[in-house]
Amino acid sequence: MDRIKEIINAAGRSIPVEVNGESVIPYQGIGKYKPDGYRYGPGIVTCADYPADGNKLVSSLKDALIQAGIRDGMTVSTHHHFRNGDLLANQLFDIIHELGIKDIRWFPSASFPCHEHLIPYLEDGTIHHIEGSMNGQLGIFTSQGRMKGVGVLRSHGGRYQAIQDGEVKIDIAVIGAGCADSFGNASGLYGPSATGLLGFALADAQYAEKVIIVTDNLVDFPCIPWQIHGNYIDFTVAVDKLGDPEQIVSGTTRITSSPDRLLLADLTARFCEATGIIRDGFSFQTGAGGTSLAVSESFRQIMKKKGIKARFARGGSNAYLVSMLNEGLIDYLLDGQTFDMDGIRSIAENPNHVWTSPFTSYNYHGKGNFAGMVDVVILGATEIDIGFNANVVTHSDGYLLHGIGGWQNCLFSKTVILPVPLLISLILLAGLTYH
């Protein structure tokens, strides 16, 4: 075998110069890489190629894929707003396999344990490789080196950036929406499969060559308010069931019940109080981990005691942040994704609960983003070393078991805290006892 050509990046790590046949831009240091050129754009189309009455409804997802020109080697994208309740991605690749299509690059904004269904399609070559978080059995499959191509991990901001820059060109985007009209205007706010937000599908809608909206709640034109505009959409498909919104809530979006971790969350909040981070008009973001969510509850108690109000909270919405918004402890909740049913109801009803996307929140190739405006971010981590290098996607066994999310994008915030438990037994090292 030919030796893989490698280069040393600014972190001192050896990386291949190509991944899956495409050139790699090595890490050059914070703020050192300066992109040039122009944003990628899909081909220009004309209204003459679309129904004059605006009705883009086709009979099935299979029909839409065929009309979109599905073929071997394409890049097909999906989003993860259904989280572990996603049925659409599995249905999509059932059809692609049935059509005999091979070597698809699957480009999800994230995958979940429910996508174990797709492992046979990775084994038989229907899917060549995944570019996106690989969780559960998909993570184990990838970690064991069984994927035909090389898996590529991207943060939420990095994914938007890669699409915008043309680093990844999406041939067909398939977007599931809780409600949509026949023109393709779509929203996640309402319907039996409502997810709240559709922000992670925004780049796919804007930059993919062909875009398919799939809904199990087809409404009369216009679908108001629309989060995805129908002018980006090529085909609309109605199906019986898109997903199970109850499965939006996963193990990483429930507050911890561990007494030790609850204490850790309380200590983190008290640190923020003591250092003056918690003050009138401050801003914060808590991650999806159970300990990080518990920090929100500790923040609430401090803010109520001191009569302090936050100007805004960032990140995925959940029952804890929604209740703080309703209590008047937060002026605005800037939502990146909706983690539970309380968040879904709130974003549909409360004008101060605002939907955002990675474009505004995390895209480093833009004219600024929200991350650097946040006073404090509380995140989870699976591993941290004594040099404060941290990891969120694998455990010490090396298996890919968690999604990146917007994790490293948040590191540009003013203060980043990783509250993690540290359990040390009594050990004897170099004649010193450590407790």
Confidence at residue 288, expressed as pLDDT on a 0 to 100 scale: 64
- Domain membership of residue 4 (yes or no) is yes
Work out how many domains the chain is built from and give that number.
3
Question: Do 230 and 258 belong together in one domain?
Answer: no
pTM of the model as a whole? 0.92
Residues β-bridged to residue 376: 284
- Domain membership of residue 186 (yes or no) is yes
Confidence at residue 412, expressed as pLDDT on a 0 to 100 scale: 83
Confidence at residue 404, expressed as pLDDT on a 0 to 100 scale: 84
Question: Do 228 and 98 belong together in one domain?
Answer: yes
Question: Do 189 and 279 belong together in one domain?
Answer: no
Question: Do 80 and 228 belong together in one domain?
Answer: yes
Confidence at residue 333, expressed as pLDDT on a 0 to 100 scale: 96
Q: Residue 255 is part of a domain; what is its CATH number?
A: 3.40.1080.10
For residues 287 and 290, what is the distance between their CA atoms, to the nearest angstrom?
Answer: 8
- Domain membership of residue 195 (yes or no) is yes
At residue 187's C-alpha, the angle toward residues 185 and 188, to 5°, is 155
Confidence at residue 184, expressed as pLDDT on a 0 to 100 scale: 98
Confidence at residue 2, expressed as pLDDT on a 0 to 100 scale: 59
**Of residues 287, 308, 297, 305, the one with CA closest to residue 263:** 297
For residues 283 and 294, what is the distance between their CA atoms, to the nearest angstrom?
Answer: 17
Confidence at residue 338, expressed as pLDDT on a 0 to 100 scale: 85
- Domain membership of residue 366 (yes or no) is yes
Confidence at residue 217, expressed as pLDDT on a 0 to 100 scale: 98
158: helix, strand or coil: helix
Confidence at residue 418, expressed as pLDDT on a 0 to 100 scale: 87
Question: Do 201 and 94 belong together in one domain?
Answer: yes
Q: What are phi and psi of 76, to 5 degrees?
A: -120, 130
Query: Each residue of 300-340: pLDDT tens digit?
Result: 999 999 999 999 999 888 888 999 999 999 999 999 888 88
Confidence at residue 294, expressed as pLDDT on a 0 to 100 scale: 83
Confidence at residue 432, expressed as pLDDT on a 0 to 100 scale: 40
Decide: 229 and 185 in contact? Cβ < 8 Å.
yes
Ranges of residues in the chain whose predicted pLDDT is under 70: 1-2, 249-255, 287-289, 423-435
**Domain residue limits at 124:** 37-247
